[in-house]
């Protein structure tokens, strides 16, 4: 039987697709385990003890899961969940793609009259607004745009493997800054203490304050 050419092309596409795209449904399943600490929608919790992982860059999430596994980044709670037996490489890709795809709005939703209670509750649960942090926003902006934006992007949303910093708990970011400065976590490849060790304490706080003002650009 001779099938028309467009139909053949469609078939080829249908077969080729699963190999290209990550399996988001499987990623959602895997996230069931992560949800115990990071929450159902990856919004994190306990004021940043568990970081937000929703909407983070997939390449960065993958990288960090591998770093936890190899203990390049030490984290006792995460370590068992990242072992090959628990989380094979393919699962790392699926769960990272799924988490990256979750959008957490930074504005309260506007409802229609006929929206039911569950729709309203789900929409409200997803809203994530990090409270404004104290500090000199202008100074924070100045330093951020000069010294951080080349990797973390002007918008703070990150790029490639460089993580998004906006929409993240301030406490969590502060803790990571400290562990970079102490040399416990490598920040960039060239210098284990990295750029942060060259800044004053008040500059770090100002950058954090500035980052909390950028959240509106998330959507
Ligand atoms: C037992 C609690 C727990 C579970 C379960 C857990 N995590 Fe975590 N996770 C943490 C904690 C705590 C941190 C913060 C580590 C730190 O402060 O450095 C973290 C950090 C992370 C980070 C780094 C975030 C960043 O911005 O650098 C990623 C990514 C992550 N977890 C993904 C996952 C995924 C995916 C799963 C499920 C496969 C998972 N976690 C399961 C507790 C947990
Ligand atoms: C040369 C590129 C580069 C520059 C410039 C840079 N960073 Fe980073 N940053 C990275 C990379 C790469 C990571 C992830 C490191 C890892 O794998 O643990 C990171 C991670 C972070 C994290 C942790 C994010 C998380 O979710 O755990 C914070 C906080 C941070 N950077 C702040 C800053 C600040 C503030 C500046 C400017 C003063 C800055 N960075 C400049 C590359 C850079």
DSSP lists the bridge partners of residue 45 as 50
Pocket test for ligand 1, best of 53, 85, 163 (most atoms within 8 A of CB): 53
Closest Cα to atom 13, ligand 1: which residue?
50
| Residue 168: pLDDT over 90 | yes
In a domain, residue 123? The reply is no
Q: Are residues 31 and 92 in the same domain?
A: yes
Per-residue confidence at 105, pLDDT binned at 50, 70, 90?
A: very high
The verdict on residue 53 lying in a domain is yes
Question: Is the pLDDT confidence value at 212 over 70?
Answer: yes
Task: Answer yes or no: do 90 and 135 share one domain.
Answer: no
Does position 50 have pLDDT exceeding 70, yes or no?
A: yes
Check whether 11 has a pLDDT greater than 60. no
Cα torsion angle, 92, 95, 101, 103, sign: negative
Residue 125, domain member (yes or no):
no
Question: Are 106 and 54 within 8 A, CB to CB?
Answer: no
Per-residue pLDDT, averaged over 7-23, amounts to 58
Q: How far apart are CA 61 and CA 199, in angstroms?
A: 27
Q: State yes or no: pLDDT of 140 exceeds 90.
A: yes
If you average pLDDT over residues 191-208, what whole number do you get?
A: 88
Answer yes or no: do 88 and 166 share one domain.
no
Higher pLDDT, 121 or 1: 121
Q: Stretch 174-185: mean pLDDT, rounded?
A: 92
In this structure, the answer to whether residues 150 and 188 fall within a common structural domain is yes
Kindly report the average pLDDT of the chain as a whole number. 89
Q: Which domain holds residue 198?
A: 131-218
For residue 111, being part of any structural domain is answered with no
Same domain, 94 and 142: no
**Distance from CA of residue 95 to its chain's centroid?**
12
Same domain, 147 and 75: no
Asked if residue 50 has its Cβ within 6 Å of ligand 1, the reply is yes
Q: What is the pLDDT of residue 216?
A: 76
Helix (H) or strand (E) holding 125: helix 117-126
Which CATH number belongs to the domain containing residue 32 in this structure? 1.10.760.10
Distance 129 CA to ligand 1 centre (A): 20
Can you give the pLDDT at residue 21? Answer: 73
Q: Best substitution site from 56, 78, 81, 93 to test ligand 1's pocket, by max atoms within 8 Å of Cβ?
A: 78
Q: What percent of the chain has pLDDT over 90?
A: 74
The yes-or-no verdict on residue 9 having pLDDT over 60 is: no
Atom in ligand 2 nearest the alpha carbon of residue 173: 29
| Predicted local confidence at residue 142, as pLDDT | 98
Residues 6+ apart with CB under 8 A from 22: 58, 93, 94, 96, 97, 98
- pLDDT of 204 higher than 90: yes
Beta-ladder partners of 159: 162
The answer on 159 and 99 residing in a single domain is: no
Residue 14 domain-assigned (yes or no): no
Provide the domain count of the chain: 2
Atom 29 in ligand 2: which residue has the minimum CA distance?
Answer: 173
The verdict on pTM exceeding 0.85 is yes
Does the CB atom of residue 191 touch ligand 2 within 6 A?
no
Q: Is 213 part of a structural domain of the chain?
A: yes
Is 56 near ligand 2, meaning CB less than 6 Å away? no
- In sequence order, the 6+-apart residues with CB closer than 8 A to the CB of 168 are 48, 51, 52, 130, 211
Q: So what's the pLDDT on residue 98?
A: 97
Compute the half-sphere exposure of residue 206: CA atoms within 13 Å on the CB side of its CA. Answer: 17
DSSP string, 169-182: -HHHHHHHHHHHHT
Nearest-CA residue for ligand 1 atom 9 is 78
Q: Looking at ligand 2, which residue's alpha carbon is closest to its atom 15?
A: 187
């Amino acid at each position: 039987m001779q099938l028309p050419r467009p139909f053949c092309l469609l078939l080829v596409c249908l077969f080729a697709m699963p190999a290209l795209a990550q399996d988001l449904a499987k990623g959602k399943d895997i996230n069931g385990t992560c949800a115990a600490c990071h929450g159902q929608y990856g919004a994190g919790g306990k004021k940043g003890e568990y970081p937000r992982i929703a909407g983070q860059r997939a390449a960065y999430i993958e990288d960090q899961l591998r770093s936890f596994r190899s203990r390049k980044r030490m984290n006792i709670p995460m370590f068992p969940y990242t072992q090959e037996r628990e989380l094979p490489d393919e699962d790392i890709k699926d769960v990272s793609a799924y988490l990256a795809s979750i959008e957490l709005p930074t504005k309260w939703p506007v409802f229609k009259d006929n929206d039911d209670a569950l729709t309203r509750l789900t929409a409200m649960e997803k809203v994530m607004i990090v409270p404004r942090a104290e500090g000199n926003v202008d100074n924070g902006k100045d330093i951020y745009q000069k010294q951080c934006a080349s990797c973390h992007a002007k918008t703070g949303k990150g790029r490639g493997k460089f993580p998004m910093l906006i929409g993240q708990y301030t406490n969590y970011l502060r803790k990571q800054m400290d562990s970079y400065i102490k040399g416990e976590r490598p920040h960039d490849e060239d210098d284990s203490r990295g750029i942060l060790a060259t800044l004053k304490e008040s500059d770090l706080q100002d950058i954090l304050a500035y980052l909390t003002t950028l959240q509106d650009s998330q959507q």
